[in-house]
Amino acid sequence: MLYLKPRLLGSVGLDDALLKADKKACVRCGPCGVGEKALYLNSYWLDRRWYVPVSNIQRAYKRVAMSKGGFTGKGIFGAIPYLVVEYGNGEVKQCTFKHEHHVDMMIAEIQRRFPRIKTMSEAAAQKLEEARRAEEARYKKHLSPRAEETLAELRRMQAFLEERPDLATRLAADSKAKRVDQLTNPAYKWAAAAIFAMALVATAYGFHSWMSGTGDSGLYILMAGFSALFFFSSSRVLPTARMNRKAIAAALEKTRTELSEYLASYPGFPLPVRYAHPLTVARMIRSVREGRSETMEDAFEDMKAVLKSLNSSVTVSQAEYDEVVTIKPMFLLENYQ
């Protein structure tokens, strides 16, 4: 594999041999990567073009720029995900990602490998603390012994799942991908493939006409063909080796299998593997603390009922919106069973 030495961000670098080995072994998350010694960040044109040693990083967090209608899921572009890395003496590097779940994967890997690095902006941490205090005000001051016992077990479950944020991130992303695939008419994908093929022909014809000078419209055909190629290459509609029904289902099955193997070290884990996500448990904890349930079974059923009731006509906070869009696809896939 061709090695392109990444350029240093900041004033603290790594030895060349160590850098080369670390970059080759890094976990790739879209255009960036997480190594044992450094984070590898993309430039406008090249993946993993820059690096920042882990020892020089203070924060690494996700930022989402919304287009008009982005919060509601409407609008032309919806959302543009970024990874923001704060390092050195107040220096900042912002990386653009094509797919938001790649940012989530990178954040999860950073949390797993480097717990000291803060994965939330200072402003977001402050807002989260304010939301936590408001939520605390809704909790019952005194719970029954049975509820306290359930709450203790749920907290153990949550802590156990949070030890592997990479598995939780993959479970949410793969579930969402399969849910989107379920809702997508297969005819759209093959129509996109047909248009892509026609774009290839148009591009070839336009290039030939332009180079040979046999047609005045050759350059315009070439430009139109290139535009169509770029559009469908960057879309998630065009079927590819990884973006097809079989591959998506296989990815989800692989993630569930790995999660099941991890859960084997927690005897009698009470949730199905397909729903074993820290946010699922967090919402069950909320059910108990707000006095809506006392047992594990009741908390699970209450959590599902609340989740099912949340749709596009219900107004929620940004924090709850983020929770819902993360875990709801898991339940929709299985019809809440």
Give the tens place of pLDDT for each residue, 245-263: 788 889 999 999 999 999 9
Least confidently predicted of 66-70, 140-144, 155-159, 184-188: 66-70
pLDDT above 90 (res 9):
yes
Contacts of 237 (CB under 8 A, 6+ apart): 184, 188, 189, 192
Least confidently predicted of 133-142, 209-218, 299-308: 209-218
**Would you state the pLDDT for residue 75?**
38
Work out the mean pLDDT of the chain and round it to a whole number.
83
Q: What distance in Å separates the CA atoms of residue 104 and residue 168, rounded to the nearest whole number? A: 10
pLDDT above 60 (res 216):
no
What's the number of CA atoms in the CB half-sphere (13 Å) around residue 293?
A: 21
% of the chain residues with pLDDT over 70: 78
**Would you state the pLDDT for residue 230?**
53
**Would you state the pLDDT for residue 210?**
63
Mean pLDDT of all residues in 47-57:
95
> What is the number of other CB atoms lying within 10 angstroms of the CB of residue 121?
15
Q: What distance in Å separates the CA atoms of residue 181 and residue 96, rounded to the nearest whole number? A: 25
Please state whether beta strands 91-96 and 7-8 pair in parallel, antiparallel, or not at all (unpaired). Answer: unpaired
Contacts of 48 (CB under 8 A, 6+ apart): 6, 23, 26, 28, 31, 32, 33, 40, 41, 42
**Would you state the pLDDT for residue 194?**
67
Per-residue pLDDT tens for 320-335?
888 888 899 999 998 9
**Would you state the pLDDT for residue 86?**
95
Q: What is the largest CA-CA distance in the chain?
A: 86
**Would you state the pLDDT for residue 72?**
45
CATH number of the structural domain 7-118: 2.30.29
Least confidently predicted of 178-182, 234-238, 281-285, 310-314: 234-238
pLDDT above 80 (res 77):
no
Contacts of 153 (CB under 8 A, 6+ apart): 270, 296
Mean pLDDT of all residues in 115-142:
84
pLDDT band per the 50, 70, 90 thresholds, residue 237:
low
Q: Which residue from 234, 205, 229, 200 is spatially nearest to 217, judged by alpha carbons?
A: 205
**Would you state the pLDDT for residue 325?**
87
Q: What distance in Å separates the CA atoms of residue 309 and residue 331, rounded to the nearest whole number? A: 12
**Would you state the pLDDT for residue 70?**
42
**Would you state the pLDDT for residue 130?**
79
Per-residue pLDDT tens for 150-208?
999 999 999 999 999 889 999 999 999 888 878 776 666 666 666 666 666 666 666 66
Q: Which residue from 251, 83, 259 is spatially nearest to 164, judged by alpha carbons?
A: 259
Residue boundaries of the structural domains of the chain: 7-118, 144-183+255-333, 186-234
